[in-house]
Structure formats: C-alpha cells, structure tokens
Structure 1
Amino acid sequence: MNLYFTYLLVIFCVIYVDCRSASDLGTIPKISRCHNEEIGYLKIGEQKKPANSCAMYKCFERGTVQIHKCLNMEKRMKPNCSVVKGNNSLPYPDCCPKLRCSLASD
C-alpha cells in the first residue's frame, strides 16, 4: 500500500512539473523586429531596399528576414541579346538588370 501511494505521488509530481513547464511557455517574449547585417533592424512586416544594391528585405513574425534579389541575367543570355545594367536608385525590382534582344537577321 505504501509503495502504491509513493507511485501515485511521483506521477502527480511529474504531471505538476510538466504542467508548470508548459505554462511557462507563455512568458516567452514576442519578437518585434528582425536583424540583418546588411540593413540593420526592421520592424515586423517592414520592407527595405538598401541604397547600394538592388534587393528587397522583408521582416517576418518569427524574426526571419526574406531577401529578394535580381535574377542572374548572364545565365539567361540568348543569341542576339545583351544585358542592360540595372539602376540601384530605382525601387526593387525596377532596379534589376534586363535583357535587351534584337531580332535575328537571316
């Protein structure tokens, strides 16, 4: 009987500690900003284009930063095409390089 009571007491303590641990999860601070070495800090939902490059950085709820960059036009080259350099002063994606192709002559 004494062993049975001890067993029940141990189970109760484990459940109590487990429940206390689960309730402590509510005290985790909410993330309110993201950090990236190139652009610094952003608020959740904020987007930013660095002045010196053609990209867009966006901050998400869990503190992650999504980066959108231009496609590599050199890899997309076709005959009779050339790459027109992008302009970093324009907003993203207008600042990206573009392909300029001429009609093929026979």
Structure 2
Amino acid sequence: MIYTTTDTIPGRDIIEIKGVVTGNVVQSKHIGRDFMAGLKSIVGGEIRGYTEMMTEARNIAIQRMVEEASSKGADAIVGIRFTTSSIVDGSSEILAFGTAVKLG
C-alpha cells in the first residue's frame, strides 16, 4: 500500500476514489512517564517517553487507516493528514486521515 501526504503519486494515475479513510488511537500516560516528565520539566529538554508514546500512537493510527483502505480495495492513500487532540486530562488522540484511491 502506497500512502503519502501529497495529492498525487508521480508516474501513477488515480482511476477511482474509494473514499475517505481514517485511523485513530487514544493514548494515555502512565505513572512512570508522568513521573519522568515532571522531573524533565524542572531541567527542560525533550520528554522522550512522551515522544515514543506519540510515535507509537501515530504508527497505530496509520496502520488502522491502511487496513481500512485495503478493505475498500484501494491501492494507495493520498492527501494524508494528522491531527491530535486532548480527550481527557492525561490522554490524547491522534487521528490519521486521507483519501483511499485505486491506481491505474
């Protein structure tokens, strides 16, 4: 499955639009990451535990989006975008969405 943030795929023709596809995950912090984040906020710098958590969440969201596109018979997903939002204190959602297409 080809997936891209661009609206086209060089050298390929889009012959059919299968529809919008999405993948999301809501991820919550755990006490170990929260404790380390508190310490890190005192001295500054990247909070690697949270970076790793959001990277994992993004990968899960992409995987779910690709699975939905495959179930629609798509060859590719174009125009992929990501958004995040806070759901409740201590958790956030990452949403991946794009257009599933059939290539010629």
TM over 0.5: no
For the pair shown, the structure with the greater C-alpha radius of gyration is 1
Larger strand share, 1 or 2: 2
* TM-score for both structures, normalised by structure 2: 0.26
Larger helix share, 1 or 2: 2
Q: Relative contact order (alpha carbons < 8 A, sep ≥ 6): 1 or 2 greater?
A: 2
* TM-score for both structures, normalised by structure 1: 0.26
